[in-house]
């Protein structure tokens, strides 16, 4: 197995119509020739897309590495918000961010009709989404619905050979972070950059 690691430093920029510069370093095993980077794009708490690009790995150089190469941009078209009803007020702000960004999203308080049967609709909405936004918290860890939704998102992703939906986790409380069941291990719950973003939003992050 080849391994590499990025410095993981959180860098915040506000786009004002001009190109933005980000600097970071990555260290890799000797047999790694190139690495793939994914840069997630947010508007407030709404993840609206992902930038994917590759960079060659080599020894120290005096010159900066080339910025050439293709960059693939994927903009999310439809998002499923999975959360505990106890966190509805917090998640409502996230849904508002998606609304402001012009991204279609499923937020059950506003998307479900009165008296509509939940389970079939939820499965269908997850299958149509290209991003499954899992809002994780102590309450979510105790929610049977959230667990079933995450399981169905994983099943859908496996059946599509990892293409969709993309799964992103947003920590709503902690640290310490709420534990997740072992059968959801393939979801990245160790997203400390995303957690740091939430910390800044709450005012408990540090520069």
207 falls within a domain: no
Distance CA 41, CA 115 (A): 36
Q: Which of 35, 51, 75 is the last residue of a domain?
A: 75
Same domain assignment for residues 66 and 144: no
The pTM is what?
Answer: 0.69
Q: Which residues contact 37 (CB under 8 A, 6 or more apart)?
A: 6, 26, 52, 53, 54, 55
Same domain membership, residue 176 and residue 84: yes
**Taking a C-beta distance cutoff of 8 angstroms, is the pair 73, 96 a contact?**
no
Task: Return per-residue pLDDT of the chain as tens, 207 residues.
Answer: 445 455 555 566 676 767 777 676 666 676 777 666 666 666 666 776 666 666 676 665 544 455 555 677 778 899 999 999 999 999 999 999 999 889 999 998 677 676 667 688 889 999 999 999 999 999 999 998 899 999 999 999 999 988 889 998 888 887 788 898 888 888 877 654 455 444 444 444 443
Residues 11, 53 share a domain: yes
Distance, CA of 30 to chain centre: 30
Question: Same domain, yes or no, for 45 and 131?
Answer: no
What CATH number does residue 116 fall under? 3.40.50.10140
Round the CA-based radius of gyration of the chain to a whole number and report it.
18
């Amino acid at each position: 197995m080849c391994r590499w690691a990025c410095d993981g430093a959180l860098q915040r920029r506000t786009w004002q119509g001009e190109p933005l510069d980000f600097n970071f370093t990555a260290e890799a095993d000797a047999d790694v020739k190139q690495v793939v980077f994914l840069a997630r794009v947010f508007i407030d708490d709404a993840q609206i897309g992902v930038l994917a690009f590759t960079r060659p790995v080599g020894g120290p150089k005096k010159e900066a590495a080339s910025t050439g190469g293709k960059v693939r941009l994927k903009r999310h078209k439809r998002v499923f918000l999975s959360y505990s009803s106890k966190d509805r007020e917090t998640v409502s702000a996230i849904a508002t961010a998606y609304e402001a960004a012009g991204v279609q999203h499923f937020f059950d308080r506003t998307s479900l009709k009165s008296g509509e049967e939940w389970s079939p609709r939820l499965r269908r909405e997850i299958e149509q989404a290209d991003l499954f936004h899992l809002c994780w918290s102590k309450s979510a860890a105790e929610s049977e619905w959230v667990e079933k939704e995450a399981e169905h998102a994983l099943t859908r992703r496996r059946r599509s050979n990892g293409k969709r939906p993309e799964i992103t986790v947003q920590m709503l409380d902690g640290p310490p972070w709420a534990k997740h069941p072992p059968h959801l291990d393939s979801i990245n719950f160790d997203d400390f950059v995303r957690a740091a973003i939430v910390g800044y939003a709450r005012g408990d992050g540090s520069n």
